[in-house]
Structure formats: C-alpha cells, structure tokens
C-alpha cells in the first residue's frame, strides 16, 4: 500500500524526475506536471495528500497557483519549492497557507523531513476532525416528539445559567446526554465536564474520589490525588446516580455546594472551587427522603431546576428517527452500506416496551448493523427476545384464563406505577380507576409502593 499520494509541480524536467524517483523509493505514489495550470487541472480529478509546488513557473507563478488551490481546497497541504533568491517569496507563501518550503538544490533529508512533518500534522488534523464529528454525532439528541421538544427547550433555557439541575429518568433514557448538552451549551463549555457515578464507587472510596486525598491519608495512599470536584474546577461536575450516595457522603457534598470549598481526605488545607453541579438519578428521591435514605436539604440544593427525561415507550413516535440515526452511524462506523428497516420490523421496534430505553434500542440497532447481511432488515432479523408475547412471560407452561389475567393485571399496574413514579393518586387517575380500588388491587397482588 502506498504511503500517500503526492503531486510534483515544477517546470524543470530533471527536478521532476529526480524528486519523483526519491518519493517513489520512499513508498509514495506520485504524479508530476510542469505548470500551475496543469496542476489545477489535475486537482479537478485527483486528491493529493501533499503538493510540491515550485515558486517560479511559466504562466501563472507559484504564489498565484497557491492562492487558487487554497480557495478551492482550504485544507490542501502544499510544500513550496523555492529557487535561489526566492526565499522571501517562499516565506510569503507560508503566510498564505503553504505548510513549509524547501530550497533548491533539494536535499533528500530535507525533503523527507518536511514531508514527514506534513503527514504528521495532516494525520493529527484528520484525527481531530473525525473525533469532532464523532462527538458531534454522539451528542446529538434525536427526537421530535412533544416531550423531546420540551426537553430541548428546557436545555436551551437552563444551560446558560448557573442553576443546579437534577435530571430524573429511567435507565438509558438519556440523562447523561442531557447533562452533556447542558454543559456544551453553557459558558463553561471549554472547561472540563467531569462525571462521577456515585453508584459505582464503593462507599469507603467515594470521599477520596470526590475530594481527593493527600499522600499518606490512608493505607495505600502513596501519592496525593486530585478529586473530581477539583478536576471539574471552572467546569461542570455530573453527579450520576446521586440517589445512591451514603448519608455521610451526602453531608459532605452538601457542604461543598454551600461553601464551594472542601478538604481533601487527610488534608487540613481547604481548596476552593467554582463548579456547576448537575445531578441525575433513576430513583424517586421523594420516596428516598421519606425512607430517610436521602437528605432533604441536599435535595433542595440539587433540585433547583428539575428535568425529566421520559421513558422511550412514552414517546414511541421518536423511534423511527432514532433507528435511522443509529443505523446510519453504526453502518458508517463498521464500513457497511446503510440498511433499510422494513415497515413490519419498524412497527415491531415501535411497539416494543423498551425497558432499557434508548440505550437498549441503540444496542439492538448496533447488533442489526453488524449481524444482518445485505441492506434490508426484516421482522425475522429482530432479536428473538423481542418476539416474546410480553415481558417476563414464562415460556413453556401455558396459563389458564384466570392466571393470564392476573399476570397481565399485575404487570400493567407495576408499569403504570413506574410511569407515575409510584404516586398512587396519579396512577389511579391515569388508568381511570378509583384510588381505593387501586389500593385493594395492589394489596391483592402484593405490590409494595415506597
Ligand atoms: N434522544 C437521543 N438521541 C440520540 N441518542 C440518545 C438519545 N438518548 C439517549 N441516547 C444515547 O443512548 C445511550 C444512553 O444514554 P445515556 O447514557 O445518556 O442514558 P442514561 O439515562 O444516563 O442511562 P443510565 O441511567 O443507564 O446511566 C447513549 O449512548 C446516548 O448517546
Ligand atoms: Mg447515565
């Protein structure tokens, strides 16, 4: 495989052939032309990683050609070949956007050095562009349902403020995505966005994780470590699964929020920080407060602006858009032609319950993008788990009418309660059932709320 494709533009026949020979020996594919006009002609049909362009050319000179190249292809790499007495012009060329220049007579080392630099720089730029595109795609919030439009509007209003935000939502609904968008649309966007998953860190480590620790603070602390609050200074700290913090840690976090300063573990020197906190939870914090698992004062501190990310099953109209977005992204990532989802299969995707919400849908589409041969996804390509009659239904044993009814009722009530965050009055209103009747049913099925 060639290392890259290069174009040599010089009117001296000797120089063209010797430079081409050098470059070919080094593994590059090369073309050569003798005038600026011919160079522009070549560029119409070809792409070159780098162009070697002589300053002095018959017809339009190198500078004029450079300007034209830059206006047509602003990111084209050009290395100027300058003769005796044209150094000043070569310097001028770099100001016009040429990457660098080499002087005649050409030395092999110098040519290769400049070329290596150019490729290094170009690779970095390409990588940067790919990464930025990836991030842009990964932080796109797809969906035009009413709740998604409302959410987008809320983000727009709240992002530029310093308001503390608490994001509610089931697993995989997009809480972290919302937090990221709040950060990216805030004046802190060029500062760090730091995430802490409070549920994933063992209780005895969370303090040093949040506040850092000094050397010798505890056994094994051989180095001082910065905590997440310090790492997020001037930026945003995303406290994920905040409902899973111990009461002891809650007390400490509350103090930081009040004072914007804290002590690393084992240190008596306070550190001041300027951090915007965004928190998220899939728990019903009001219930956690009643159960005395969560501090009311911390709740008020965090919950200045509450956000709710609705479960996917409550915005099914977003599903085709999401499917299309994920399918395009994954097929591109895995270098496959984009697959079309047949209407029957799409209908199934739309009607599915999606307990794991957008994340589950995204994983399903990734799997289809990889595993389905050809360009069309049909009903039979969908995972068999989606084809079962209802969630949690036991396979094998058939139920009689009464059992089936009870099973359905129970599941239905649980779903409705989850959707209404465990609020009995709201659930009763939502399903059009008397409150007392609902209570009786819950008792019959031994469904515990709170
Ligand atoms: N509206 C959306 N448009 C596009 N992608 C989305 C959308 N919502 C979620 N996603 C994607 O789905 C995945 C899950 O989202 P995210 O991690 O934000 O959910 P979460 O609510 O934080 O989940 P968990 O509770 O499990 O932590 C991510 O890859 C995210 O980019
Ligand atoms: Mg999350």
Asked, for residue 450, whether it belongs to a domain, the answer is no
Cα(355) to centroid(ligand 1), Å:
13
The verdict on 150 and 286 lying in the same domain is: yes
Atom of ligand 1 nearest to the CA of 148: 1
The verdict on 152 and 293 lying in the same domain is: yes
Ligand of minimum distance to the alpha carbon of 325: 1
Asked, for residue 396, whether it belongs to a domain, the answer is no
Q: Is the Cβ–Cβ distance between 232 and 273 less than 8 Å?
A: yes
Give the strand order in the sheet containing 100-103: 29-33, 5-9, 50-54, 77-82, 100-103
Asked, for residue 81, whether it belongs to a domain, the answer is yes
Give the pTM: 0.69
Q: Does the Cβ of 175 fall within 6 Å of ligand 1?
A: yes
Cα(398) to centroid(ligand 1), Å:
37
The verdict on 96 and 11 lying in the same domain is: yes
Ligand of minimum distance to the alpha carbon of 169: 1
Asked, for residue 118, whether it belongs to a domain, the answer is yes
Atom of ligand 1 nearest to the CA of 178: 18
Rounded to an integer, what distance in angstroms lies between the CA atom of residue 192 and that of residue 354? 33
Q: Whose CA is nearest to atom 28 of ligand 1?
A: 359
Asked, for residue 323, whether it belongs to a domain, the answer is yes
- The CATH number of residue 417's host domain is 1.10.10
Q: Does the Cβ of 171 fall within 6 Å of ligand 1?
A: yes
Q: Does the Cβ of 142 fall within 6 Å of ligand 1?
A: yes
Is the dihedral angle over the CA atoms 368, 374, 379, 385 positive or is it negative? Answer: negative
The verdict on 306 and 324 lying in the same domain is: no
DSSP type of residue 265: B
Q: Does the Cβ of 362 fall within 6 Å of ligand 1?
A: yes
The verdict on 82 and 105 lying in the same domain is: yes
Q: Domain ends where: 275, 292, 310? A: 310
Ligand of minimum distance to the alpha carbon of 364: 1
Asked, for residue 355, whether it belongs to a domain, the answer is yes
Q: Whose CA is nearest to atom 5 of ligand 1?
A: 141
The verdict on 184 and 261 lying in the same domain is: yes
Q: Is the Cβ–Cβ distance between 181 and 139 less than 8 Å?
A: yes
The verdict on 279 and 130 lying in the same domain is: no
Q: Domain ends where: 135, 160, 190? A: 135
Cα(176) to centroid(ligand 1), Å:
6
Asked, for residue 177, whether it belongs to a domain, the answer is yes
Number of domains into which the chain is organized: 4
Is the dihedral angle over the CA atoms 244, 248, 250, 253 positive or is it negative? Answer: negative
pLDDT tens, the chain, 450 aa long: 678 999 999 999 999 999 999 999 999 999 999 999 999 999 999 999 999 999 989 999 999 999 999 999 989 999 999 887 778 888 899 999 999 999 988 999 999 999 999 999 999 998 888 888 888 888 899 999 999 999 999 999 999 998 899 999 999 999 999 999 999 999 999 999 999 998 888 888 888 899 999 888 777 777 888 999 999 999 999 999 999 998 988 998 999 999 989 999 899 899 999 999 999 999 999 899 999 999 999 999 999 999 999 999 999 999 999 999 999 999 999 999 999 999 999 999 999 999 999 999 999 999 999 999 999 999 999 998 887 765 444 444 567 787 788 888 888 888 888 778 788 899 999 999 999 999 988 888 877 776
The verdict on 295 and 150 lying in the same domain is: yes
The verdict on 13 and 154 lying in the same domain is: no
The verdict on 299 and 383 lying in the same domain is: no
The parent domain of residue 128 ranges over: 5-135
The verdict on 128 and 23 lying in the same domain is: yes
The verdict on 304 and 246 lying in the same domain is: yes
């Amino acid at each position: 495989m060639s290392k890259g494709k290069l174009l040599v533009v010089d009117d001296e026949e000797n120089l063209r052939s010797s430079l081409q020979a050098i470059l070919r020996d080094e593994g590059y594919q090369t073309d050569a032309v003798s005038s600026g006009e011919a160079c522009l002609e070549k560029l119409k049909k070809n792409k070159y990683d780098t162009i070697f362009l002589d300053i002095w050319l018959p017809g339009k000179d190198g500078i004029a050609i450079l300007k034209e190249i830059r206006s047509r292809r602003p990111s084209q790499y050009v290395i100027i070949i300058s003769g005796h007495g044209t150094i000043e012009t070569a310097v001028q060329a770099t100001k016009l956007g040429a990457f660098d220049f080499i002087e005649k007579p050409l030395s092999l080392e110098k040519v290769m050095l400049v070329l290596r630099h150019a490729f290094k720089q170009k690779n970095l730029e390409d990588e940067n562009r790919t990464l930025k595109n990836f991030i842009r795609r990964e932080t796109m919030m797809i969906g035009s349902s009413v709740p998604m439009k409302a959410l987008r509007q809320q983000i727009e209003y709240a992002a530029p403020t310093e308001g503390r935000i608490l994001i509610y939502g089931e697993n995989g609904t997009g809480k972290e995505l919302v937090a990221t968008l709040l950060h990216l649309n805030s004046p802190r966007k060029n500062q760090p966005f730091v995430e802490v998953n409070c549920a994933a860190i063992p209780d005895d480590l969370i303090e040093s994780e949040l506040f850092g620790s000094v050397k010798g603070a505890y056994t094994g602390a051989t180095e001082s470590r910065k905590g997440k609050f310090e790492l997020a200074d001037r930026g945003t700290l995303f406290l994920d699964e905040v409902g899973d913090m111990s009461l002891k840690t809650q007390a400490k976090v509350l103090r930081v929020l009040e004072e914007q300063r804290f002590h690393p573990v084992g240190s008596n020197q306070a550190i001041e920080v300027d951090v915007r906190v965004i928190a998220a939870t899939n728990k019903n914090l009001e219930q956690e407060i009643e159960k005395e698992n969560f501090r009311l004062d911390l709740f008020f501190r965090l919950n200045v602006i509450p956000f709710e990310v609705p479960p996917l099953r409550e915005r099914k109209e977003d599903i085709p858009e999401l499917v299309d977005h994920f399918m395009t992204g994954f097929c591109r990532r895995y270098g496959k032609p984009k697959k079309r989802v047949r209407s029957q299969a799409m209908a199934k995707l739309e009607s599915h319950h999606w307990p794991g919400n957008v994340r589950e849908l995204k994983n399903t589409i990734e799997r289809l993008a990889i595993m389905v041969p050809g360009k069309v996804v049909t009903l039979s390509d969908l995972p068999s788990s989606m084809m079962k009659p209802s969630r949690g239904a036991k396979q094998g044993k058939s139920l009689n009418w009464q059992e089936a009814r009870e099973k359905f009722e129970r599941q239905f009530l649980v779903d409705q309660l989850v959707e209404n965050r465990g609020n009995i009055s709201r659930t009763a209103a939502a399903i059009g059932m008397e409150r007392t009747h609902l209570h009786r049913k819950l008792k019959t099925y031994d469904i515990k709320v709170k």
